[in-house]
Chain A
Amino acid sequence: MPASMDRLYSDRSTSLLRTLYRVLIVCYGIAIMGFVWLTKDLTFSTLAKDPVFAAYSISVVIYVLGRFVLALFYRPAPDVGHRPSLSVIIPAFNEEEGILGTIQSCLDADYPSELVEIIAVNDGSTDGTWKKIQHAKVLSPRLHAIDMGKNYGKRTAMAEGIRRARGEILCFVDSDSYVSFDALKAIVAPFADARVGAVVGHAEVRNRMFNWVTKMQQVRYYAAFRIIKGTESLLSGTVTCASGCCAAYRTSLVQPLLKAWEFQTFLGRPATFGDDRALTNRILAQGRVVYQSTARAETNAPTTLGVFFRQQLRWKKSWLRESTYVVRYFWRKNPVAAVFTYASIVFPLFAPWVVLHAVLGRLVGGNPGGLWFYLVGTYAMAMLYSLYYAFRRVDGLWYHGMTFVGLYMSVLVFQTYWGIATMRDTRWGTRASTVEHAALDQDNVTSLPSSPGAPVPELVEAPT
């Protein structure tokens, strides 16, 4: 197991200082909530003058605090020794830097070797990815290596992996992600419950110390997984997105959907990205999707603001596309989860108008008091969000959550409408992958199946 990950998760230490620090954070958080409570009169007083704005503000506060409170009750499913056969699928496109590390982390993961197969699928990479996979195959014959011959897109690579998989459970690991030693055992644990159709692991940013862009994303990831997926999971297993970096599905549920999912179209265009959300959505319509905090993975996040924005836009588009499907069946789900989910669809549509109204309206309308109140209120919410991270992880990165909220309020909220406007542009944005669906030409596929029972030697040093 990589040492860095070992240290990363050793935050269970209960030294006095750490306890003191946490008590301080909790007091701070309570003080901020007290502040929000004291200013409620200010918000209610604007209800008459500015009902949409006030109603929005109050709902958002209730939404955020509600999520926080519910997240406190989340518990991961215990490992009761459930060991179904497992196929780990790693689709890879131009990932020569990290692919060996990813494969290594999967091979290293603790799971009965006769029950697990690792499938790496090369999606027509133009760099040395296939060479690296072949290299891994030589060193570890247990690996199943597949080369699709040309670039078809991530979905096709995943689909090909699924078609060749033999496990009862399919586990997807992105080629820039790394799973922890106990992740595979943990991610299959919830499947002991027959109602569970998919499980998403807990992902953090691997290169989180690189710069402020990755630091900010680390805080974002943490809250998104622990709080959003945590509460969704708690509410009858209604996680709306089993993120691609580490997610598992029941094979029997995926197979009937495979074709429709692989060749999904939206507004007459092939749905190239948002493969994870699309698959989750279709499983969730018929079963439960839960979050397993003990199935830990790390993923490399964009290191520049430009790439980050393009990635966010892509996610936003996937979210928009899948939301049109979510709204049709979610009312049948857990009512609280339904309220949260519908709210989470409505809020982003309102948000840009509210921000513009709050800032411009007050500046032009000569109501600086209202503007200050809006700013300090937003700041209070951002602080609660960041303090949550500060409480959970003592690494000093918490305040980058403020950067994220700042970027969110100033840029990302406006992406919703940009995403709607450019919905038909299905370019990936962060890589030069194909944007058209094409049926896989099996004649050009190279498949190097695993040799069961082969010893598992140590691969080369994984790059960091």
Chain B
Amino acid sequence: MIMSESLDERKRRTRQLIVGILALPLSVLPFVGYLSLTPEGRSVRDQVRVVLAPPELPRLSRGQVLAAARRAPRYKGAVMLLAYHGVGSTSDAEGGFVVSPARFAEHLAILRAAGMHTVTARQVADAFGNGAALPPNAVMISFDDGRSDAMMFADPLLDQAGMVATMFVITDAASEPGVYYAGWDDIEAYAHSGRWDIEAHTAALHREQRTEGGQMLPALTSLTHGESLGSYRDRIRRDLARASTAIEAHVGVPAVAFAYPFGAYGKDRSNNLAVRRIVREEVSRRYLVAFHQDEQATIPLATCADVPLELRRLEVQSWSGVELLERIERAPQQRASAERCAGAH
């Protein structure tokens, strides 16, 4: 037996051992792939990241502080509306806009340095609908979809900056959360922190549907096969009602603001000319203000002179803090004084 253990055999064992040890690091690859290539996987990775290294507001450089002072906006009775989607991994398979936690932190730091004050969608609704006053240099930071990564990363930063934000939640997604969407437990906790205003983003209409021409159109602004205008109206009315009921049940206050899924409100990406009117009527039954993000080239400051159900938000990309200020600086200011808003009341 001892002799039968040839040199060959011994070599073979050694080779097997080496291959086995090399296979250990290789075996990590499927996990790495999952955590970096799939949306769910990235969310899982982000969860770990936020626990291991909580995001922090950066100390601005001298140059940034100077730029913030130079570009600090001076306006009253108006609000700059910002739309974010995800905060987390820098690439996003869903094609949405995702900024890194570091970028988002820089945005908050520079907005603060420029003397801007964050308001929630509820405050905007109060101002435009009820004539309440807005703070000077008001800015609304909003997130669409109720993604867990956005809340996870943004919340500690908002806390450090003493700022508030608004989350437009897809309520059905929150009821069946995965790793990707935050569940009601988390959303309620965020709402109770006082930093988050929870508003509506439909219950289940955040999807595209195949319409008669074979085109894929947003479910909120298109008629499905053989759908009459009456049943279309019913469909979206029931959905918005469901979204509002869910938010009130979980957060305790009724939603007053709405964000259009994909920013589609019926002007385009629709297959019926009546859609825009019906959408506006149905949205107005429940909400005071509604937001989209069309025509990104020029986004003006929002005032009470705007159509409250078609307010335009600036879709924030992975800009530097100074670039963000430049964008805000470029926003054309419509002439609408605070008095006129108050007068509308």
**Measuring CB to CB, which residues of chain A are less than 8 angstroms from any residue of chain B?**
2-4, 21, 24-25, 28, 32, 35, 38-39, 41-42, 45, 48-49, 209, 369, 372-373, 375-376, 379-380, 383, 390, 394-399, 402, 461-462, 464
> With A376-B41, A390-B20, A395-B13 in contact, do A464 and B31 touch (Cβ < 8 Å)?
no
- Residues of chain B within 8 A (CB-CB) of A41 are 177-179, 183
Given contacts A3-B2, A24-B24, A369-B39, 16 further A-B contacts (CB under 8 A): A2-B1, A3-B1, A38-B179, A42-B179, A48-B176, A369-B38, A369-B178, A372-B41, A373-B40, A376-B41, A383-B27, A396-B23, A398-B23, A399-B27, A402-B27, A461-B1
Once the chains are docked, how many angstroms separate the CA of A394 from the CA of B20? 9
In residues 123-156 of chain B, which contact A (Cβ within 8 Å)? none
Closest B residue to A379 by CB, please name it. B30
Once the chains are docked, how many angstroms separate the CA of A390 from the CA of B13? 15
B17 contacts A394, C-beta separation under 8 Å: yes
Is B7 interfacial (CB-CB < 8 Å)?
A: no
> With A3-B2, A38-B48, A461-B1 in contact, do A209 and B20 touch (Cβ < 8 Å)?
no
Name, among B18, B24, B39, B176, the residue most crowded by chain A CB atoms within 10 Å (CB to CB). B24
- Residues of chain B within 8 A (CB-CB) of A2 are 1
> With A38-B44, A41-B179 in contact, do A396 and B1 touch (Cβ < 8 Å)?
no
Is B34 interfacial (CB-CB < 8 Å)?
A: yes
Residue from A25, A49, A464 in contact with B176 in the complex, judged by beta carbons closer than 8 Å: A49
**Measuring CB to CB, which residues of chain B are less than 8 angstroms from any residue of chain A?**
1-2, 4-5, 9, 12-13, 16-21, 23-24, 27, 30-31, 34, 38-41, 44, 47-48, 176-179, 183
B19 contacts A39, C-beta separation under 8 Å: no
- Residues of chain A within 8 A (CB-CB) of B176 are 45, 48-49
A390 contacts B38, C-beta separation under 8 Å: no
> With A209-B9, A372-B34, A372-B41 in contact, do A464 and B18 touch (Cβ < 8 Å)?
no
B24 contacts A42, C-beta separation under 8 Å: no
- Residues of chain B within 8 A (CB-CB) of A28 are 24
A462 contacts B1, C-beta separation under 8 Å: yes
A209 contacts B12, C-beta separation under 8 Å: yes
A369 contacts B24, C-beta separation under 8 Å: no
Residue from A209, A372, A461 in contact with B40 in the complex, judged by beta carbons closer than 8 Å: A372
B177 contacts A464, C-beta separation under 8 Å: no
- Residues of chain A within 8 A (CB-CB) of B2 are 3
Closest 10 CB pairs of A and B: A396-B20, A396-B17, A2-B1, A396-B16, A3-B2, A376-B34, A399-B23, A45-B178, A464-B4, A372-B38
- Residues of chain A within 8 A (CB-CB) of B38 are 369, 372-373
Once the chains are docked, how many angstroms separate the CA of A41 from the CA of B152? 15
B201 to chain A, nearest CB (A): 18
- Residues of chain A within 8 A (CB-CB) of B19 are 396, 399
- Residues of chain B within 8 A (CB-CB) of A376 are 30-31, 34, 41
A35 contacts B44, C-beta separation under 8 Å: yes
B48 to chain A, nearest CB (A): 7
A397 contacts B4, C-beta separation under 8 Å: no
- Residues of chain A within 8 A (CB-CB) of B13 are 209, 395
- Residues of chain B within 8 A (CB-CB) of A42 are 40, 178-179
Once the chains are docked, how many angstroms separate the CA of A398 from the CA of B21? 9
A435 to chain B, nearest CB (A): 37
Between-chain CB contacts (< 8 Å), 13 pairs: A4-B5, A28-B24, A38-B179, A41-B178, A45-B178, A369-B39, A372-B40, A375-B30, A379-B31, A383-B27, A395-B16, A396-B18, A462-B1
Name, among B23, B48, B176, B178, the residue most crowded by chain A CB atoms within 10 Å (CB to CB). B178
Once the chains are docked, how many angstroms separate the CA of A375 from the CA of B33? 12
Closest A residue to B33 by CB, please name it. A376
Once the chains are docked, how many angstroms separate the CA of A397 from the CA of B183? 43
Closest B residue to A371 by CB, please name it. B38
> With A42-B40, A42-B178 in contact, do A390 and B24 touch (Cβ < 8 Å)?
yes
- Residues of chain A within 8 A (CB-CB) of B18 are 396
Once the chains are docked, how many angstroms separate the CA of A461 from the CA of B183? 69
B34 contacts A3, C-beta separation under 8 Å: no
- Residues of chain A within 8 A (CB-CB) of B178 are 41-42, 45, 369
- Residues of chain A within 8 A (CB-CB) of B177 are 41, 45
Once the chains are docked, how many angstroms separate the CA of A25 from the CA of B179? 27
B171 to chain A, nearest CB (A): 14
Closest B residue to A5 by CB, please name it. B1
Once the chains are docked, how many angstroms separate the CA of A396 from the CA of B16? 5
- Residues of chain B within 8 A (CB-CB) of A398 are 20, 23
Name, among A2, A32, A369, A402, the residue most crowded by chain B CB atoms within 10 Å (CB to CB). A369
Once the chains are docked, how many angstroms separate the CA of A49 from the CA of B178? 11
A366 to chain B, nearest CB (A): 12
A4 contacts B1, C-beta separation under 8 Å: yes
A397 contacts B16, C-beta separation under 8 Å: yes
A35 contacts B17, C-beta separation under 8 Å: no
B20 contacts A399, C-beta separation under 8 Å: yes
A20 to chain B, nearest CB (A): 11
- Residues of chain B within 8 A (CB-CB) of A48 are 176
Once the chains are docked, how many angstroms separate the CA of A404 from the CA of B27? 15
Closest A residue to B177 by CB, please name it. A45
A8 to chain B, nearest CB (A): 11
Closest B residue to A2 by CB, please name it. B1
Once the chains are docked, how many angstroms separate the CA of A341 from the CA of B124? 62
B249 to chain A, nearest CB (A): 17
Once the chains are docked, how many angstroms separate the CA of A49 from the CA of B183? 15
A394 to chain B, nearest CB (A): 7
- Residues of chain A within 8 A (CB-CB) of B44 are 35, 38-39
